[in-house]
Structure 1
Amino acid sequence: MSFNMHNLVAVHRDEIMKEFNKIGTDAGGSAIMAPKALHRLIKIYDLTPRQANIIKQEMLGKGGDAAVTRGMVDSSVDKTDVLLMGTEKQYRAVIKKLRLQPFKLASLADQLAEMLNNLGGRPPRELIYRDKKLPLGERTLVMGILNVTPDSFSDGGKHNNIDAAIAWAHRMVDEGADIIDLGGESTRPGYTPVSLEEELDRVIPVLEVLVREISVPISIDTTKAAVARRALEVGAHIINDQWALRADRDMASVVAEYQVPLVMMHNQNDTVYRDLMGDMVQFLRESIAMAEQAGIVRENIIVDPGIGLGKTAEQNLEILRCLRELDCLGLPVLLGTSRKSMIGKVLDLPFDQRVEGTGATVALGIANGADIVRVHDVKEMVRVVRMTDAVVRY
């Protein structure tokens, strides 16, 4: 006799609960069993052998496990990374025990508990920008790129006058853009930095018209606090900082003053990483702490892995595969892959022939947790987004 069976893939609690409902499981029993069904792999870096040994023993005692380096047992190493393996129920039990332990393990337990809560999923909510709101989590938002620069890698000079820029913004809104991202300084490899005055001269005249003529929020793509302040005075709604508050230390206070949403992108000047995703999460976690310390509310923060910025093509592909690992931060994720060089490298195509490759990365990004996608080809990507959402956001 052959029995009908198959494996299930579930990342969030609501997926587990749907399966319980299909079976007809008692509601009380479902609530008890759900934490047993969610298995988590969590990596912790740079623990002392003493810390790692306690954690391993506690995990084993609750039916889970923890992988450590070979030299941990005999203390022949000073530090070890630890890979925890267990169900959510096992983690919760271990957290209770770790809160009673010395060696800073109580603090680690609090962070571990916060991470488990974040991994439970981001419930739909509203992104508030001044007096308007955008749904976040119900569907994927599309951010249309408006570069008013002569040297952008993809469309440099194309919209480098006010009339052309305004017309393109209107077109993107008509095609379904939820946000317009206006930028006056290129970030392509080898770009030439522009002065504060030049960036203001490029961005502000266009912004002054856009805030009067279009209904969707306008994001300002800048790393300069003075540009952000002037743009917010004119009426911009979102700040998109490609250096996550690190290029200009005044940026955090400006955003905090206006209490607008802030996109913080991972970026660095080289492509050397100890652990790509681990390093990226730590970078973003530090920037989040900087933002909150300045008075920016966590609900206003969006993170961006920074595809193409400080990464090789291979590293960019790895980020797409592992994008779910940003879930541990519990924040909305913006993904910008549009026409990027990794697509050109894989498909051997110039930037103006990368629409299909962009569509593939957008679809995969949404499937792996992206909430907002930043794109050049709005009409085509809106269709990709809607189709992908029909599969993913059921």
Structure 2
Amino acid sequence: MKMGTEYEVRVVTVANLRAAAEEIRSVGADDPGCRIMAPKAVFRAVKIRGLSPVQANILKQEMLSKGGEAAVSRGVINHSVAETDVLLLGTLRQYEELVRKLRLQPFGLARLGEEIRRVLENIEGRRPYTLDCRGRQLVIGERTLVMGILNVTPDSFSDGGRYETVEAAKARAIEMVAQGADIIDIGGESTRPGHTPVDAAEEMRRVLPVLEAVIPAVPVPVSIDTSKAAVARAALAAGAHIVNDQWALRDEGMAEAVAAAGAPVVLMHNQKGTAYRDLMADIIAYFNERIAFAVSAGIPRERIIIDPGIGFGKTPEQNLEVMRRLEELNALGCPILIGTSRKSFIGYALDLPVSERMEGTAATVAVGIMKGADIVRVHDVKEMVRVARMTDALKRKG
């Protein structure tokens, strides 16, 4: 028998059910034991916004009865507040028991229980699946996908004017694919702060000849970066495979155009101003509303990709906070795309001009992948493909 300090004691990282099962199996437990114990090894903090005191009191008592905890506003007990947020603290097994009990409760708690169950399942992760991009395929979740940026504008913040001619744009698309790009994203209107808006006719004049040249020249899906329904319809008619919409289907007719074409869509978070009640909660509420809108318009949920909109409607500090908390978006169950390449929040953190932000971009790509990003949208394809592959090697087994 070992005595005292001869014992080896350590803390192990248990990020999810899969990791829990692996750790339990490693000590010699059998499969039934793994299934029973793994949900007890994973702890989650779940925050719910806007419950009534009645709902919050029942939820707290039920969670306490399962051995978990629930933090509520001080005024819940005597109903001196109209509503409260609730922070639930417990293991996956405790949540399983809570959800079963909530199915028997009134006051909308049965529906809330199903939402808690859905969010927790989403956080555990998705199995890799094939996304059909109008005939070209992307495997989501097997490795990080790299989207190469191809701006055909005179005034983009980083590469404006470099690829204005069709031949230059086509050559760059071919080069990016050779460097490892999985998607080419073509945009005809700058979205940098202070940009000059262009109408749909001018945007189409810029992008359609490039789409017609690039699509047959590369084997990967080509996306159109636009928020205008007219441009999206024309681009899809020209063969574009994905619509990347920075205003998440706000333009009238955009959702219908995407649905009719059977195209995947990127919904980006965006807003005017930088005021938030709760940054991540507000972003998730925005996505829930826009995803529901997209689905109601006929776009299947499995064709929806979300983008937290780094650099849009956020201060530099808010951009950094979104990156730090990116994994919270996994609760939505959709693939996550991040576009951090050379952006001003990197310049804010490092005090560097746009031409010197490659290393900062690399850091955001690596952190983003570790926190759940499935697709990274970048200018420097060759370098960021290497960053993505190395980060995948650290994060993903196999």
Give the TM-score band, short-chain normalised: over 0.9
Which residue in the other structure is 1:331 paired with?
334
What is aligned with 2:248? 244
The equivalent residue for 1:141 is 145
Letter of the 2:324 counterpart: R
Please tell me whether the aligned partners of residues 243 and 258 of structure 2 are also in contact (alpha carbons under 8 angstroms): yes
Determine the C-alpha separation between the residues in 2 that align with 1:70 and 1:92.
27
Residues 187-336 of structure 1 correspond to what in structure 2 (within 5 A)? Answer: 187-246=191-250, 248-336=251-339
Match of 1:36 in 2: 40
Do structure 1's residue 380 and structure 2's residue 383 form an aligned pair? yes
Question: Cα distance, 1:249 vs. partner?
Answer: 2.8
**Where does residue 66 of structure 1 map in the other structure?**
70
1:355 equivalent in alignment to 2:358:
yes
What secondary structure sits across from 1:138 in the alignment? coil
Contact 2:151–2:163 under 8 Å retained in 1: yes
Aligned to 1:155: 159
Cα deviation, residue 70, structure 1 = 1.2
Q: Distance in 1 between matches of 2:352 and 2:218?
A: 34
1:181-220: CA deviation from partner (whole Å, max 9, x where unpaired): 0000111111121101000000000000111111111011
What's the secondary structure of 1:135's corresponding residue?
strand
CA displacement, residues 256-286 of structure 1 (integer Å, 9 cap, x when unaligned) = 1111111100000111000000000000010
User: Could you tell which deviates more after superposition, 11-20 or 235-244?
Assistant: 11-20
Provide the rounded CA distance (Å) in 2 between the counterparts of 1:321 and 1:160. Answer: 36
Mapped to 1, the partners of 2:252 and 2:16 lie a distance apart of 37
Answer yes or no: is the 8 Å Cα contact 2:137–2:221 preserved in 1: no
> How far apart, in 1, do the equivalents of 2:289 and 2:223 lie?
23
Q: Does 1:105 pair with 2:109?
A: yes
Measure how far apart 1:21 and its partner are. 2.7
The one-letter amino acid of 1:7's match is V
What amino acid is the match of 2:301? R
Matched, 1:118 2:119: no
1:108-142: per-residue Cα shift (whole Å, max 9, x none)? 11211111211121111111112221111110000
Which runs of 5 or more structure 2 residues have no equivalent in the other structure?
A: none
In structure 1, distance between residues paired with 2:281 and 2:79: 24
What is the CA–CA distance in structure 2 between the aligned matches of 1:152 and 1:10, rounded to whole Å? 43
The alignment yields a C-alpha RMSD, in angstroms, of 0.9
User: 1:5 Cα deviation (Å)?
Assistant: 1.9
- Residues 288-343 of structure 1 show CA distances to partners (whole Å, capped at 9, x for unaligned) of 00011011111101100000000011011111110010011011100110001010
1:79 corresponding residue in structure 2? 83
Q: Which runs of 5+ in 1 are unaligned?
A: none
Counterparts of 1:190 and 1:4, CA distance in 2: 59
Amino acid at match of 2:241: H
Q: Structure 1 vs Structure 2: percent identity of aligned residues?
A: 59
Query: Hey, what does 1:18 align to over in structure 2?
Result: 22
How far apart, CA to CA, are the structure 1 residues paired with 2:224 and 2:295? 20
- Deviation for aligned residue 1:171: 1.1
CA deviation string 1:19-50 (max 9, x = no partner): 12322210011011111111111110011111
Instruction: Tell me which moved more, 125-134 or 328-337.
Output: 125-134
Residue 55 of structure 2 corresponds to residue 51 of structure 1: yes
How many correspondences in the alignment?
393
Secondary structure at the residue paired with 1:45?
A: strand
1:88 aligns with 2:92: yes
Tell me, in whole angstroms, the C-alpha distance in 2 between the residues paired with 1:6 and 1:301.
41
Distance 1:281 1:63 in 2: 28
SS at match of 1:338: coil
Q: 1:128 aligns with which of 114, 127, 132?
A: 132
Instruction: Tell me the secondary structure at the aligned position of residue 24 of structure 1.
Output: coil
Task: State the TM-score, normalizing by the size of structure 1.
Answer: 0.98
